Structure 1
Amino acid sequence: MRKISLLTGLLCTLFFIQCKKEDIKTDFTALCKSYFADKSALNPVDATVYGQNQYNAELLFEMTDSHRKAQGNFFDKYEKAIADVDYSELKEDEKVSYDIIKWEVSIGKEMLKYPTNLIPINQFAGTHLNMGMFAGGTSSQPFKTEKDYRNFLTRMDKFSVWIDSAMVYMKKGVRKGYVLPKALTLKVIPQFEELITEKPEDNLYYSAIKIMPADFPDAVKKELAAQYAETIRRKLVPQFQKMAHYLKTDYLAASRNTSGISSLPMGKEIYIALAKSWTTTEKTPDEIHELGLQQVAKLKAEIEAIKNQVGFKGSMKDFLNDLRTNKKLMPFTTPEQVLAHFDSIYNRIRPNVGKLFSVTPKTPFEIRRTEAFREKSASAEYIQGSADGTRPGVFYVPVPDAKTYNVLQDEDLFLHEAIPGHHYQVSLQQENTALPDFRKFNWFGAYGEGWALYTESLGKELGVYTDPYQYLGMLSAEMHRAIRLVVDTGIHTKGWTREQAIQYSLDNEAETEASIISEIERYMAVPGQALSYKIGQLKIMELREKAKKKMGSKFDIREFHKKVLESGVMPLELLEAKMDAWMGK
């Protein structure tokens, strides 16, 4: 055997080490790809929203035992997979990916301890509302090819079965004490009743047929129209009738008179887990409640200053009532005027974006009115576009009554929901080819909503808030998010009633009573979600002030925003570590 020289041996050793590093990198890259593929298959409705069109015919049966078992298997699989990865050998951004997977697996396993699947429907969010949005024909579900139409036909068929599954688990919930509050059940009933039509052609689920591409062969058009009509007539409408009847009779009678989740079995533990999930922190409900009270007091003083600036001569309560009812703040008579108003805000912001942002998204953007079937109980919202830019990001504005539409918070609202809020954050994340897919198409409320709330403070630099009432609208919107910390924890951990929470909001913000009622019922339906906004915003503002202090004259707001956004959503602890590294802690 030939002897190997010392130099040759050293080179071989270095080559072996490098190969091992490459193996680790390849393995982790494959793990990330597998994680995203498995996650998308488990969540096909989310996959459609994210533009993963291979799942467009599938539907999530999220309440079923079989789905929860599949979730548990998924979490176990990736808990083991990341345990086999040598963390020390990963690059910095790979470590972020690792930490995100670890966090998601941990919180996912924790949430599976609780039977939240026994309340599969509420008035604010869920499969029945997502399906309605898809059915409108202009949302995330594509309707460009014959295959697209057949995909949704299959999804409609599965949705009829989903309704039966939902009722099965709602009945289990009734037996075990997991039910909606009565006030929420009353809001869900019309969401199904409005889908009951005598003629299929008048049904929301027929909408896509009315916008079929002109180049479809006539025979295909006729066949699809007949199949959609048949599915609506024979499958969907009977199921909508069945669900509406069940809700109005048995379920309403069994619905609870309490408002908070703590009245449910294990409710206190469920809320702690939900608060952790939505804020991505270890803050306790008591800590969050106290933080909310502090923020409300701070903002109340700032609003008082604006009250004095505009010369209002009454109490704070009188001022808030005036803002709700002041006809000067309700200048419109048609929904088209409301949408045109947002267009004008967009045009004022656009020339100033470069002052604060060095990178802007390529994804197109549109402003649309919220669909009629959900407009009465909907909030303004942003629905992301597709990563390839073929579907625009959409800012949806509900205008149930244009004559009572109040413009007080419109500039602030546009910054939050559209630009540079959700549209910038989500689009830049999806367009970032350096991120693994599971991070390009991901969401953490504290980061995403925290960013959107943070951007509301940028209005003056972007050319808005020149009117003191619009600046007041920004303060009022921030107050609204501070109130959420108080009322969400109050409802779910301190025994607050729906009425008590409504009154607290009326006493401290300028939202209309109807809007406040809708908001409070939203918090009742989705415990903890409302905490994410203010918790995330305060962290981003804290990091900005920390960077300015540490970096001094070298601080560049454009670079700060780029660094916050460039890696996509993540738990706040990971964001803080990333920003500390950037500012040279």
Structure 2
Amino acid sequence: MEPCLSLAAMETAVGDNISAHEIGANKQLDSLTSDFYNWRLETEPEWSTSLGVYKHNDKLESWNYKDFESRKNRAQEFLDQLMSVKTTDLDKTRMVSYDILKDVLKTYIDGYRWWKFQPLNPFTFLEGFLTYPKKLISVTPFDTHGDFLNFIIRIEKMPQQYNEMMESARLAIQYNHTLSSVSVNRIPVMIDELIANESSFHLLEPFLEDKAPIVLGDSLQIMTERMKAAIKKLILKLKEVKSFIENHYMAHTRKICGILGWENGRQNYRDTLRWHTSLNVTPEEVHQKGLDEVHRIHQEMLKVMCKLGFKGSVRDCFNTLNRNPDFLMTDPEAALQRYRDIIFQRIMPKLPKYFKKLPNLPIVVKYSSQDGVRGEYEPGSKDGMRPGTFYANVRRPEDNPTFSMVSLTLHETVPGHHLAESYSLVSDLPPFRKHFNWRAISAPFYFPFFNSYAEGWALYGEYLGEEMGIYRDDFELMGRYSDEINRACRLVVDTGLHYFGWDRDRAIEYVLNYTGITREAAMIEIDRYITWPGQACGYKMGELKIKELRQKATNELGLLFDLPEFHDIILRNGPMPLSILENLIEDWIKDVKSTASKI
């Protein structure tokens, strides 16, 4: 945040046609956004650590449901303060920040009505420490004695955090608001794998590295023993969690896959869908949009199949391709290298034609430690010291054929998530607009991370790859269409499961009928949609909105349309609700027209 201006500076500014009222409103908003951001870092300390803010490294987030109301009240206080800001005195950039913060706070406050539902169910196979056990180590510094001590204290607090989670889950059982069994039935095995060997438990790793004796000196043994004691207590607590899931929670899991099985389930889903898409759309509209997109993309796939000489259904085509050894890479390291080649040899050289002021922050490709989705991205740091990381799941070659690697790379790295995150990191935006804590399980009672913007852009990146000439043959194009139709299927399947009463088998068969994924992969995908209602709809709905805005700008500007500038408007402003993004593009169109009329 900028330093406060003195009275003399204010008078100078007024003399430069900037009123003291404007300065006051802008400073008021700057202070408010800073306070809000710092409050979130304090209440979500693990997230704070991942952002490189280490002042809360000895703390853990509270999962006590009794804190929900006080957090909602604090958000209301922020909203009340925000409404006191005189918007007519804000500059253009801060007006966007105002609109975004208002949306963030109102979404959170409105979602409080559902605190007895999703937020009471913290255990899933998709989120949390059990899913990403090494993430806490990867984001924690171990450069000083205090760093090691903070880490020990944090681990010592984890059993209490799990007590709070189990207490919330017990209340979910009491209210009959539990998750489906597929969302939690993998957890016992995940715990078994995590605690298989206490002596080599991963949390001890920092104390066994070469620099530990240098940093800790004579206190190394004492600190290591304290850490071992903390690990022992944590393992006992994890065994308790396993027993709780197996012997209590599982017996009370929701009988219907979708949240349609809860009272007011359809209204819950409407709100959750809006939370994830940031669009005022109904489940019926999303379902129909999915059907329309599936039909369109299916026709494109049939054209490519004809060129390749394939007859029969799309499913038959992919069954043949997925068994073809020419497309299967059994060497994990070779698969990772192929991803690197796609990034650095195919895509990177073509980016300057489509983007302005490229951030050029580093990106690395690593092996995914968990067997879930095909790949995912973790942002790096603004200074580039911590690179952005594309974690590729190369465990099962049949689920990762070479012809599908290109679209996944475009999505997760450049011009997808890595490029978008890089623009956001280096842009001159307040921190609350740069950093969002990703948590799908608590929606709609959680601060939005603008899923439809982030995932919509990444899916648009796959589309842009075709325009850039990244796909080299029809097989890779089939891989692209398989990924795109998968996102279209999600609109149909997600609404089907949570609003129209589809069962799991029907959803699996629908996905298999149109995409190239295997049955095992389809089962994991469907279980993800069951666990995260609405989240999977953000991809296609976001991409369609971006393409709609691009077409609108193209139609209105004609020869004045500048594609790199269009992309720059989207990326340099960071994640936001799609309605605010639409306003930004409309303002840009007006500015371009106005400038052209003066020439």
Tell me the TM-score normalised to structure 1 length: 0.92
* 8 A contact 1:349–1:463 mirrored in 2: no
Paired residue type of 1:44: P
Which one-letter code corresponds to 1:497 in the other structure?
D
Measured on the aligned residues, the alpha-carbon RMSD in Å equals 2.1
Q: Does the Cα contact within 8 Å between 1:177 and 1:265 map onto a contact in 2?
A: no
Please tell me the residue identity of whatever aligns with 2:48: A
- Alignment of 1:53 with 2:41, yes or no, is no
SS at match of 2:211: coil
Q: 1:345 to 1:144 in 2, by over 3 A?
A: farther
Change (3 A) 1:105 1:217: closer
What whole-Å deviation, never above 9, does each CA across 1:288-321 have from its counterpart, x for those lacking one?
Answer: 0110010000000001011111111233331132
- CA distance in 2 between counterparts of 1:357 and 1:184 reads 40
Of all paired residues, the percent bearing the same amino acid is 30
Letter in 1 for 2:342: I
Equivalents in 1 of 2:400, 2:435: separation in Å? 34
| Matches of 1:309 and 1:185, distance apart in 2 | 44
The alpha-carbon deviation at position 475 of structure 1 amounts to 1.0
- How many angstroms does 1:264 deviate by? 1.4
Show the 5 A alignment for 1:177-216.
177-200=176-199, 202-211=200-209, 213=211, 215-216=214-215
What residue in structure 2 maps to residue 560 of structure 1? 566
Are 1:197 and 1:237, in contact at CA under 8 Å, matched by a contact in 2?
no
Question: Which residues of 2 match residues 241-256 of structure 1 at below 5 A?
Answer: 241-256=239-254
Aligned partners of 1:359, 1:210: CA distance in 2, in Å? 42
Equivalence map 1:82-161=2 (5 Å): 82-114=82-114, 115=116, 116-130=118-132, 132-135=133-136, 137=137, 139-161=138-160
Q: Distance in 2 between matches of 1:406 and 1:38?
A: 45
Contact 1:339 1:367 in 2 (8 A): yes
2:3: which partner in 1?
none
Deviation at 1:208, TM superposition (A): 2.8
Q: Deviations over 1:97-121 (max 9, x none)?
A: 1111111111101211111222111
Provide, for residues 435-488 of structure 1, a one-character-per-residue CA deviation record: whole Å limited to 9, x for no partner: 111112133101111111101112245452012111111111110110111111
SS in 2 for 1:435: coil
- Code of the residue aligned with 2:112 in structure 1: it is L
Residue 36 of structure 1 aligns to which amino acid in structure 2? Y
The match for 1:360 is 358
- The 1:407/1:142 distance shift into structure 2, 3 A limit, reads farther
Amino acid at match of 2:95: K
Answering whether residue 21 of structure 2 is matched by residue 29 of structure 1, we say no
SS in 1 for 2:194: coil
SS of residue matched to 2:186: helix
Residue 236 of structure 1 deviates from its aligned partner by: 1.0
User: Distance between the aligned counterparts of 2:385 and 2:424, measured in 1?
Assistant: 16
Higher mean C-alpha deviation, range 515-524 or range 209-218:
209-218
Separation (CA, whole Å) in 2 of partners of 1:128 and 1:483? 29
Check whether the contact 2:497–2:503 (CA below 8 A) recurs between aligned residues.
yes
Shift of 1:34: 1.1
Q: Distance in 1 between matches of 2:418 and 2:18?
A: 43
1:359-508 matches, cutoff 5 A = 359-371=357-369, 375-402=370-397, 405-432=400-427, 434-442=428-436, 443-508=449-514
**8 Å contact kept, 2:21–2:89:** no
Superimposed CA distance per residue, residues 349-387 of structure 1 (whole angstroms, 9 cap, x where no aligned partner): 12111111122224321111112xxx2234410011123
Aligned counterparts, 1:260-409, within 5 A: 260-330=258-328, 332-347=329-344, 348-371=346-369, 375-402=370-397, 405-409=400-404
After superposition, what is the alpha-carbon deviation per residue over 1:275-295, rounded to whole angstroms, capped at 9, x for unaligned? 111100110111101100100
Shift of 1:506: 0.7
Q: Check the 8 A contact 1:51/1:387 in 2, yes or no.
A: no
Q: Distance in 2 between matches of 1:166 and 1:69?
A: 17
Aligned equivalents of 1:199, 1:93: Cα separation in 2 = 52
Letter paired with 1:388: D
- 1:341 shift after superposition: 0.9
* Counterparts of 1:382 and 1:503, CA distance in 2: 28
Shift of 1:127: 4.9
Name which of 509, 512, 531 aligns with 2:515.
509
Tell me the distance in 1 between the aligned counterparts of 2:354 and 2:366. 26
* Range with greater deviation from structure 2 (205-214 or 186-195): 205-214
Aligned length: 563
Note if contact 1:193-1:240 (Cα within 8 Å) is conserved in structure 2. no
Other structure's SS at 1:333 match: coil
Distance 1:274 1:416 in 2: 24
In the TM superposition, what is the alpha-carbon distance from 1:18 to its structure 2 partner? 2.3
CA contact (8 A) 1:195 1:237 kept: no
Deviations 1:489-525 (A, max 9, x none): 1100011111111111011111111111111101111
**Could you tell me whether the CA contact under 8 Å between 2:371 and 2:393 is conserved in 1?**
yes
Q: Which deviates further from its counterpart, 399-408 or 118-127? A: 399-408
Residue equivalent to 1:6: none
Q: Is the 8 A contact 1:334 1:403 kept in 2?
A: no
Q: Secondary structure at the match of 2:459?
A: helix
Change (3 A) 1:481 1:412: same
Give the TM-score normalised by the residue count of structure 2. 0.90
Preserved CA contact (<8 Å) 2:25 2:87 = no
Distance 2:382 2:219 in 1: 30
Task: Give yes or no for contact 2:368–2:393 (8 Å, CA) kept in 1.
Answer: yes
Q: Which residue type is aligned with residue 347 of structure 2?
A: I
SS at match of 1:458: helix
Write the deviation string for residues 229-288 of structure 1: whole angstroms up to 9, x where unpaired. 22112x111011111111111112222331001101332222111111110011011110
Whether the 8 Å CA contact 1:352–1:461 is kept in 2: the answer is no
CA shift at 1:583, angstroms? 1.4
Provide the C-alpha distance between the structure 1 equivalents of 2:210 and 2:107, rounded to a whole number of angstroms.
Answer: 42
Cα distance in structure 2, aligned partners of 1:406 and 1:574: 38
Q: Which amino acid aligns with 1:66?
A: K
- In structure 1, the residue matched to 2:576 is 570
Match of 2:226 in 1: 227
**Is the 2:314–2:515 Cα contact (8 Å) retained in structure 1?**
no
Match for residue 7 of structure 1?
A: none
Q: Deviations over 1:330-365 (max 9, x none)?
A: 1x2221111111111112212111111122224321
In 2, Cα distance between equivalents of 1:481 and 1:210 = 44
Unaligned ranges ≥5, structure 2: 1-10, 437-448, 594-599
Question: In structure 2, do the counterparts of structure 1 residues 126 and 112 end up closer, same or farther at CA, with 3 Å as the change threshold?
Answer: farther
Determine helix, strand or coil for the equivalent of 1:408.
Answer: helix
Unaligned runs of 5+ in 1: 1-10
Q: Alpha-carbon deviations, 1:523-568, whole Å to 9, x = none? A: 1111111111111101111111122222222222211111111111
Distance 1:96 1:548 in 2: 23
Which deviates more from structure 2 when the two are superposed, residues 407-416 or residues 383-392? 383-392
Q: Return closer, same or farther for 1:291/1:212 CA change in 2, 3 Å cut-off.
A: farther
Q: Secondary structure at the match of 1:216?
A: helix
1:428 offset after TM fit, Å? Answer: 1.3
Deviates more, 1:76-85 or 1:149-158: 149-158
- Answer with 383-392 or 443-452: which moved more: 383-392
In the TM superposition, residue 223 of structure 1 has moved relative to its aligned partner by 3.5
Question: CA shift at 1:42, angstroms?
Answer: 2.3
Cα distance in 1 for partners of 2:121, 2:405 equals 34
Structure 1 ranges of 4+ moved more than 6 A? 14-17
The one-letter code of the counterpart of 1:369 is Y
Alpha-carbon distance, 1:220 to partner? 4.1
The CA deviation string for residues 183-230 of structure 1, in whole angstroms up to 9 with x for no partner, is 222122212221223433x21222333435264254344333322222
Question: Matched residues in 1 for 2:322 and 2:146: separation?
Answer: 48
Alignment CA distance shift 1:363-1:212 (3 Å)? farther
- Rounded to whole Å, the distance in 1 between the matches of 2:508 and 2:392 is 23
What letter is aligned with 1:278? H
